[in-house]
Amino acid sequence: MALTKSVEWLKRSQQVLAGGVSSDVRRAELPHPLFFQSGKGSRIVDVDGNEYIDYVLGQGPLLLGHSPRPVVEAVHEQLEKGLVYAAQHEAETELAELLVQAIPCAEKVRFNSTGSEAVVSALRVARARHNRKLVVKFEGQWHGWYDSLFVSTAPTLDQAGAYDHPNPVMPSRGQVQNAAENLLVMPWNDLDVMEKLFRQRGIEIAAVLTEPMMCNAGSIAPLPGFLEGLRKLCSEHGAALIFDEVITGFRLGLGGAQEAFGVTPDMATYAKGIASGFTLSAVVGKAEWMDLISEGKVVHAGTYNSNPVVIAAGLATVRYLKENQDTVYPQLYRLGELLREGLRQRFVKAGIPALLGGQGPVVQASLTDAATLRNYRDWVRRDVATYSKLVTRLVDAGVRTITRGTWYLSSAHTEEDVAITLREVEAILSRGL
Ligand SMILES: Cc1ncc(COP(=O)(O)O)c(C=O)c1O
């Protein structure tokens, strides 16, 4: 597959865009950052005219596929009526009402633009309630790139420190070490370690922040009892349990992971999946927490918050999901299972040790001979080099996937898409990586 124009554009952009990209995550694209011109449904087309079945889906937001009709129409209509009011409008209340109906912990809502902002908003509320500083985050989890949270997202095992007391590792130069001084990094899926921590420091802990499924590191599911145990510890010690549902929200079900796993946090954050690619995020939570904002004790702001364009996209997306939940979610789960099982069989046939995980439309392939994955340190030992070769060859075969092994499905994907994909994977593996 020719990538000539992409290569030319990359050279040109490197003259003016730092590194040729606008987010460092995009540097990881294989064989190199590509340039795209359009997307429709499950397909995306690059500037050389190559079409791909897209499992990247904008790194998650395109839960309904590229440019879904109801969202495009709602946004078109709004574009004629105004872009930013810096004031309230009806649709933002309607969308908040839908979130309150759909999400178990949601009694009150505030909107932001990005996932990073929504998480920071939740933490400010959590710290304010009992005037505590410490926040627990888990090793390998990604909650945005702001200084105080961009910690231990992908440490090497050399940097990581003791298992039960990991070092806070800053991924970027320019982050001051004390940005993490109120953060405790812990291993995921280990309730004993968390119980010990709460026995020692429970009175200081404002919040436990967690992705309910570790989508950014192996899509590792919570062990039975882990989320329930966190719920109990937080309740006993007056800490907020915050689920970062930026990826799982609306994807694992209309009520997100908290509905799927049956554990209700105090607050939760949403972004990818809520507005089909428009920059909308939300922090939601129980009134006893969110009312710190209602009462003006905690400040939450943002010029672009709930502008009518992104809200139109959010309203159209969530309405569509609500009205079609009986067909959309079973279909997403069915396709997820087809892809997961199909990939598993093909790795077995090729004699490549692999674990297939994730849930529903989040499919995860990790090349490893481990029997099971429990936390980041298990996952980081996978065979990245071989998997990268597969991702690169898939590009050549018209299939675009995420280098860390995650495959997102949308409501626009079809059985035919999955069948073509599996055929290509099989052909590549049979030639050897
Ligand atoms: C779980 C999770 N939380 C927060 C974020 C940050 O969202 P954003 O990139 O919109 O700031 C991400 C982004 O990938 C994420 O995956």
φ/ψ of residue 50, rounded to 5: -75, 135
Sorting pLDDT into bands at 50, 70 and 90, what band is 1?
confident
Q: Report the pLDDT averaged over residues 320-324.
A: 98
Sorting pLDDT into bands at 50, 70 and 90, what band is 240?
very high
- Asked whether the predicted pLDDT for residue 175 surpasses 90, the reply is yes
Q: For position 400, what pLDDT does the model report? A: 98
Model confidence pLDDT, tens digit, residues 98-135: 999 999 999 999 999 999 999 999 999 999 999 999 99
Q: Which residues of 104-132 are buried (b: 16+ CB within 10 A; e: fewer)?
A: bbbbbbbbbbbbbbbbbbbbbbbbbbeeb
Which atom number of ligand 1 is nearest to the Cα of residue 59? 14
**How close is the Cα of 115 to the center of ligand 1, in Å?**
5
- Provide the sign of the torsion angle of the four alpha carbons 303, 306, 308, 314, taken in this order: positive
**How close is the Cα of 116 to the center of ligand 1, in Å?**
6
Copy the structure tokens of residue 28: 């990881």
- How high is the mean pLDDT of the chain? 97
Q: Which residues does 366 contact at the CB level (< 8 Å), separation at least 6?
A: 218, 354, 355, 356, 357, 373, 379, 382, 387, 405
**How close is the Cα of 118 to the center of ligand 1, in Å?**
9
Nearest CA to 196 among 141, 233, 223?
233
**How close is the Cα of 149 to the center of ligand 1, in Å?**
11
Which atom number of ligand 1 is nearest to the Cα of residue 23? 9
Pocket perturbation via mutation, ligand 1, pick of 116, 141, 279 by most ligand atoms within 8 A of CB: 116
Class of domain 4-67+326-431: alpha beta
Nearest CA to 276 among 47, 89, 120, 57?
57
Model confidence pLDDT, tens digit, residues 38-49: 999 999 999 999
Model confidence pLDDT, tens digit, residues 186-223: 999 999 999 999 999 999 999 999 999 999 999 999 99
Q: For position 177, what pLDDT does the model report? A: 85
Are residues 410 and 63 in contact, defined by beta-carbon separation less than 8 angstroms?
A: yes
Question: Measured between alpha carbons, how far is 136 from 275 in angstroms, rounded to an integer?
Answer: 29
DSSP state of 223: P
Copy the structure tokens of residue 140: 């390998």
The full set of domain ranges for the chain reads 4-67+326-431, 69-323
- Asked whether the predicted pLDDT for residue 235 surpasses 90, the reply is yes
Q: Report the pLDDT averaged over residues 6-19.
A: 97
Q: Which residues of 235-254 are buried (b: 16+ CB within 10 A; e: fewer)?
A: eebebbbbbbbbbbbbbbbb
Q: For position 391, what pLDDT does the model report? A: 98
Copy the structure tokens of residue 79: 């574009």
Pocket perturbation via mutation, ligand 1, pick of 143, 269, 376 by most ligand atoms within 8 A of CB: 143
Pocket perturbation via mutation, ligand 1, pick of 210, 211, 272 by most ligand atoms within 8 A of CB: 272
Question: Measured between alpha carbons, how far is 355 from 382 in angstroms, rounded to an integer?
Answer: 10
Model confidence pLDDT, tens digit, residues 255-288: 999 999 999 999 999 999 999 999 999 999 999 9
Pocket perturbation via mutation, ligand 1, pick of 215, 246, 404 by most ligand atoms within 8 A of CB: 246
Ligand 1: lining residues by beta carbon, under 6 Å: 114-116, 119, 142-144, 211, 216, 244, 246-247, 271
CB atoms within 10 A of CB 100: 14
Are residues 105 and 284 in contact, defined by beta-carbon separation less than 8 angstroms?
A: yes
**How close is the Cα of 215 to the center of ligand 1, in Å?**
10
Nearest CA to 126 among 208, 181, 182?
208
**How close is the Cα of 425 to the center of ligand 1, in Å?**
29
- Asked whether the predicted pLDDT for residue 392 surpasses 90, the reply is yes
**How close is the Cα of 431 to the center of ligand 1, in Å?**
37
Sorting pLDDT into bands at 50, 70 and 90, what band is 342?
very high
Sorting pLDDT into bands at 50, 70 and 90, what band is 294?
very high
pTM, entire model: 0.98
Q: Report the pLDDT averaged over residues 298-310.
A: 97
In CATH terms, the fold of domain 69-323 is Aspartate Aminotransferase; domain 2 (3.40.640)
4-67+326-431 and 69-323 share one CATH topology? no
* Nearest CA, atom 3, ligand 1: 143
Question: What is the arrangement of strands in the sheet containing 267-270, beginning at the earlier edge strand?
Answer: 108-112, 281-285, 267-270, 240-244, 205-210, 134-138, 183-186
